[in-house]
Amino acid sequence: MKGSCIIDGFDIDDLGGFILRGGDYDFLSFPERRDPLSENWFEYNGVDVDLSEIFFKEKSLTVKFHIKGETSDEFIYRLNGFYKRVSAPGYRILYSREFDRTFRLRFVSCPEYTHRGGLFKPGTKRGTLSVSFSMDDPLQLFTDRSILIPTIEGRIPSQVSINGYDLSRFGIVVTQCYNSVLKLSAAKQPLTRSFERMTGLLVSEPQQATFEAKQITIECTMLADNRAEFYHNYTALFNNLTLTQAIEVSTLWADNECFYTSMSDFSKFKAFKNGIHIGFKLNLTCITAGLIEYLLSTEDGYLITTEDDFFIEM
């Protein structure tokens, strides 16, 4: 595995080290957005939010390494050498051949270590360890903010689009979104009064139902033929999600104005050299009412479509 992971110019293969399969998922995930300034007015659905600026939290990531040695002396020498390099003051410059990218990281801790092979017995010694880093600059992968247009054509539409681009244009297959899109939002709570010498609550009943901003999750599988295609479309996806304005999320049922919150559950299904196949969840916040909340808050309780004789009864 020569050249697969280089830290500060040093190949960790020289220490019998490499990154374990599944131990590199955190490198590519989108950073989490810092909460924008917002007001939550009781009289209106959703939330009034200032999207003119966007900021992100630093990214915490954990990388799983494996170190081995044929003798106890060799193993301890290699493990100590790895610890010294990874925990040195300042930032680590880590190159991953799997992603063909270099990352600037700061060591935080080594939360887990699992050992195999007794130090006082013959045979190979192995250590599996998790190293926690902080990516203080979480936008290292997304330096070109001008990339917005995805490149893939001709795939079956996902029927879910962002800013007018069907997600299939990014190489994405949507595996689930109904679970959150069709879920009813929480009601905005009216004014209440409570007294020590009274049972229950006094509630100011609203004349019309209003609903809180809803969190929606789009579960995605993303495919690409090669790294160049993947990085272009992955960057275009991130840039579309993080514009300093509301993003338009459209489905067959409704259009929603949303803003990006976070990515979760990033996973990689095969090595990048064999074609890109990853999965993740996009977590968004709806600014305005979704279809169901809109219908419930209207007086008639149904939606007239472009066909005058067709409606959805509530």
Type of residue found at 309: D
CA distance 79 to 172: 41
**Distances from the Cα of 156 to the Cα of 159, 196, 217, 304, angstroms:** 9, 61, 21, 29
pLDDT tens for each residue of 77-120: 999 999 999 999 999 999 999 999 999 999 999 999 999 998 88
Q: What is the pLDDT of residue 129?
A: 96
The predicted pLDDT at position 223 comes to: 97
Q: What is the pLDDT of residue 304?
A: 39
Full 3-state SS string of the chain: CCCCEEECCEEHHHHCEEECCCCCHHHCCCCCECCCCEECCCCCCCCEECCCCCCECCEEEEEEEEEEECCHHHHHHHHHHHHHHHCCCCEEEEEECCCCEEEEEEEEEEEEEEEECCCCCCCCEEEEEEEEEEECCCCCCCCCCCCCCCCCCCCCCCCCEECCEEHHHHCEEEEECHHHHCCCCCECCCCEECCCCCCCCEECCCCCCCECCCEEEEEEEEEECCHHHHHHHHHHHHHHHCCCCCEEEECCCCEEEEEEEEEEEEEECCCHHHCEEEEEEEEEEECCCCHHHHHHCCCCCCEECCCCCCEECC
- Measured between alpha carbons, how far is 277 from 95 in angstroms, rounded to an integer? 21
The Cα-based distances of 38 to 32, 83, 171, 236, 256 in angstroms read 17, 44, 33, 26, 18
Residue segments in the chain with a per-residue pLDDT below the cut of 50: 301-314
Amino acid residing at 73 = D
pLDDT of residue 307: 38
Q: Identify the burial level of 195 via C-beta atoms within 10 angstroms of its C-beta, where 0-12 means exposed, 13-18 middle and 19 or more buried.
A: exposed
Determine the pLDDT at residue 311.
32
User: What phi and psi values does residue 126 have, to the nearest 5 degrees?
Assistant: -135, 140
Region class of 219: left (phi > 0), else alpha (psi between -120 and 50), else beta: beta
Q: How far apart are CA 49 and CA 39, in angstroms?
A: 6
Instruction: Quick: pLDDT tens for 281-294.
Output: 999 999 876 666 76
Give how far Cα 88 sits from Cα of 8, 61, 92, 107, Å: 10, 18, 8, 8
Rounded to two decimals, what is the model's pTM? 0.88
Provide the token pair at 9.
């110019």
What pLDDT shows up at residue 238?
98
CB neighbour class for 38 (10 Å; exposed up to 12, middle 13-18, buried from 19): middle
Mind listing the pLDDT tens digit for each residue in 211-238?
888 899 999 999 999 999 999 999 999 9
